[in-house]
A and B are shown apart, each in its own frame.
Chain A
Amino acid sequence: MEKLNSLSDFKDLKERLDAGREPDRPTIIIPAGTCGQASGANDLIRAAKREILARELSEKVRLVITGCHGFCQMEPSVLVEPGRTFYPRVDTKGMAKIVEAAAQGKVVEELLFLDPATGKRIEKQDDMPFFKKQVRTILARSERVDPIRLYHYIESGGYGSLAKVLEKGDRAWVIEEMKASGLRGRGGAGFPTGLKWELLAKQANGKGKFLVCNADEGDPGAYMDRSVLEGNPHSIIEGMIIGAFGTGATEGVVYVRTEYPLAIKHLRIALRQARELGLLGEDILGRGFSFDIHLVKGAGAFVCGEETALMRSIEGKMGEPRQRPPFPVERGIQGKPTAINNVETWANVSLIFAEGAKAFSKVGTPKNSGTKIFSLVGKVQNTGLVEVPMGITIGEIVQEIGAGPSGKTPIKAVQTGGPSGGCIPATKFDLPIDYESLAKAGSIMGSGGMIVMDERTCMVDVAKYFMNFLKDESCGKCFTCRKGTQRMWEILDDISRGQGTPAHLDLLEELALVVKDTTMCGLGQTAPNPVLSTLQYFREEYLEHIKNKRCPAGVCKDLILYSISQKCTGCMACIKSCPSEAITGKAKEVHVIDAKKCIKCGACMAVCKYDAVVVT
Chain B
Amino acid sequence: MIKLTINGLEVSVEKGTTLLEAAQFLGFPIPTLCHMEGLSPYGACRLCVVEIGEGPRAKLVSSCTYPVEEGLKVRTSSSRVVRARKMVLELLLATCPQSKVIQDLASAHEVRKQRFRQEHEDCILCGLCVRMCEQQMMAKAIGFRGRGKNRSLGTPFDIKFEECRLCGGCMYVCPACQLRCTYTDPEKAICGGCANLSPPCLEKEKFDDIMCYLAPCVACEIKKD
User: Please, which residues of chain B bring their CB within 8 A of the CB of A482?
Assistant: 125, 148-149, 151
Q: Are A475 and B147 in contact (CB under 8 A)?
A: yes
Q: Are B87 and A479 in contact (CB under 8 A)?
A: no
Interface flags for B142-177 (1: CB within 8 Å of A; 0: not) read 001111110100000000000000000000000000
Which stretch from A67-75, A136-144, A484-492 is at the chain B interface?
Answer: A484-492
In whole angstroms, what is the CA distance A513 to B80 when docked?
10
Query: Does chain A have a CB within 8 A of B45?
Result: yes
Which stretch from A15-23, A150-158, A466-474 is at the chain B interface?
Answer: A466-474
With A323-B43, A483-B91, A520-B62 as given contacts, are A476 and B125 in contact (CB-CB < 8 Å)?
A: yes
Main secondary structure of the interface of A (DSSP, over half): helix
Query: Does chain B have a CB within 8 A of A514?
Result: yes
In whole angstroms, what is the CA distance A480 to B117 when docked?
16
In whole angstroms, what is the CA distance A518 to B125 when docked?
17
In whole angstroms, what is the CA distance A503 to B115 when docked?
9
In whole angstroms, what is the CA distance A472 to B151 when docked?
10
Q: Are B46 and A474 in contact (CB under 8 A)?
A: no
User: Please, which residues of chain A bring their CB within 8 A of the CB of B91?
Assistant: 479-480, 483-484, 487
User: Please, which residues of chain A bring their CB within 8 A of the CB of B117?
Assistant: 487, 490
With A323-B62, A323-B66, A514-B84 as given contacts, are A478 and B115 in contact (CB-CB < 8 Å)?
A: no
In whole angstroms, what is the CA distance A490 to B114 when docked?
15
User: Please, which residues of chain B bring their CB within 8 A of the CB of A472?
Assistant: 148-149
User: Please, which residues of chain B bring their CB within 8 A of the CB of A518?
Assistant: 46, 49, 60, 84, 88
Q: In chain B, residues 16-66, which have Cβ atoms closer than 8 Å to a Cβ of chain A? A: 42-46, 49, 59-62, 65-66
Of the residues A326, A490, A510, A520, contact of B87 by C-beta under 8 Å: A510
Query: Does chain A have a CB within 8 A of B216?
Result: no
How many of chain A's residues have a CB under 8 angstroms from any CB in B?
34
User: Please, which residues of chain A bring their CB within 8 A of the CB of B84?
Assistant: 514, 517-518
Query: Does chain A have a CB within 8 A of B189?
Result: no
Q: Are A478 and B46 in contact (CB under 8 A)?
A: yes
Query: Does chain A have a CB within 8 A of B194?
Result: no
How many of chain B's residues have a CB under 8 angstroms from any CB in A?
37
Q: Are A303 and B147 in contact (CB under 8 A)?
A: yes
Q: Which residue of A lies closest to B152 (CB)?
A: A476
Q: Which residue of B lies closest to A474 (CB)?
A: B148
Interface residues of A (CB under 8 A from B): 301, 303, 318, 322-323, 325-326, 471-480, 482-487, 490, 503, 507, 510-511, 513-514, 517-520
Interface residues of B (CB under 8 A from A): 42-46, 49, 59-62, 65-67, 69, 80, 83-84, 87-88, 91-92, 94-95, 115-117, 124-127, 144-149, 151
Return the 8 tightest CB-CB contacts between A and B, nearest first. A476-B151, A514-B87, A518-B46, A323-B65, A474-B148, A480-B46, A517-B60, A483-B91
Known: A476-B149, A483-B94. 20 other contacts (CB 8 A): A303-B147, A471-B149, A472-B149, A475-B148, A476-B125, A477-B125, A477-B127, A478-B43, A478-B44, A479-B45, A479-B88, A480-B88, A482-B149, A483-B91, A487-B117, A503-B115, A517-B60, A518-B46, A518-B84, A520-B46
In the complex, 22 of the A-B residue pairs with CB atoms within 8 angstroms, ordered by the A residue number, are A318-B144, A323-B61, A323-B65, A472-B149, A473-B147, A474-B147, A474-B148, A475-B147, A476-B125, A476-B146, A476-B147, A476-B149, A476-B151, A478-B44, A480-B88, A483-B94, A485-B148, A487-B117, A513-B83, A517-B59, A517-B60, A517-B80
